[in-house]
Amino acid sequence: MGKCDGRCTLLVICSLQLVAALQRQVFDFLGYQWAPILANFLHIMAVILGMFGTVQFRFRYLIFYAVWLVVWVGWNSFIICFYLEVGKLSQDRDFLMTFNTSLHRSWWMEHGPGCLVTPVLDSRMAPDDHHVITVSGCLLDYQYIEVLSSAIQILLALFGFVYTCYVSKVFQDDEDSFDFIGGFDSYGYQPPQKSSHLQLQPLYTAG
């Protein structure tokens, strides 16, 4: 019963991670955030492997999923530090998120709740094919929306890591108990071997 509860809970956590990652992927695509897009894609693949390993009792897939969750927590911690400009990190270095391919920022910068976007006409600050805007009236600034999204990802990853370790331990215990009763043990039941030698019997004839 405990194994079933742990597996079901882990599958629910993986499903929430998958929904959250897909939602985040959409908004990162809209904002041309290529580094997060790549990270989200790898995360989606890892979550799918984790779900497959949970359903099919694949221990190695669960270990890979657990290791990836550690990396995922580190990546989202970097995202939080980036948008809060911790240390020497600065949002002016947008090439970190776009691989220096565009000047776009987070999609939430212009489309946040309550944000009013005003274009600045005849601005000399804008490069070719770009325009300068001012954003005001936002109920929640875009950097805090990104921080909240990353915090949710970290929370789900921590729960996923704990339950992955628990389910992996249950899988290992089940395999050990199965071997103990002779499931795949060499000391288990062995069928009798057929002898290849024929016993010769004397033949008597009446004469």
For residue range 140-156, what is the model confidence (pLDDT) as tens digits? 888 999 999 999 999 99
Both tokens assigned to 94 = 């947008």
145 and 27 in contact (C-beta within 8 Å)? no
* Per-residue pLDDT tens over the stretch 110-144: 888 888 877 766 655 555 545 566 777 888 888 99
Residue 187: the pLDDT is 43
Q: How far is the first Cα of the chain from the last one, in angstroms, to the nearest whole number?
A: 78
Indicate if the pLDDT at residue 100 is higher than 80: no
Nearest to 151 by CA among 81, 50, 88, 97: 81
* Per-residue pLDDT tens over the stretch 40-79: 999 999 999 999 999 988 889 999 999 999 999 999 999 9
Mean of the per-residue pLDDT values of the chain: 80
3-state secondary structure of 57: coil
Rounded distance between C-alpha atoms, residue 33 and residue 64, angstroms: 26
Both tokens assigned to 12 = 């629910």
Residue 67: the pLDDT is 96
Confidence of residue 23 (pLDDT cuts 50, 70, 90): very high
Confidence of residue 109 (pLDDT cuts 50, 70, 90): confident
40 and 83 in contact (C-beta within 8 Å)? no
182/170: higher pLDDT: 170
CB crowding 91-100: b at 16 or more within 10 Å, else e? beebeebbee
Residues 172-178, mean pLDDT to the nearest whole number: 66
191/17: higher pLDDT: 17
Which residues partner with 118 through β-bridges?
134
Residue 98: the pLDDT is 73
Residue 206: the pLDDT is 61
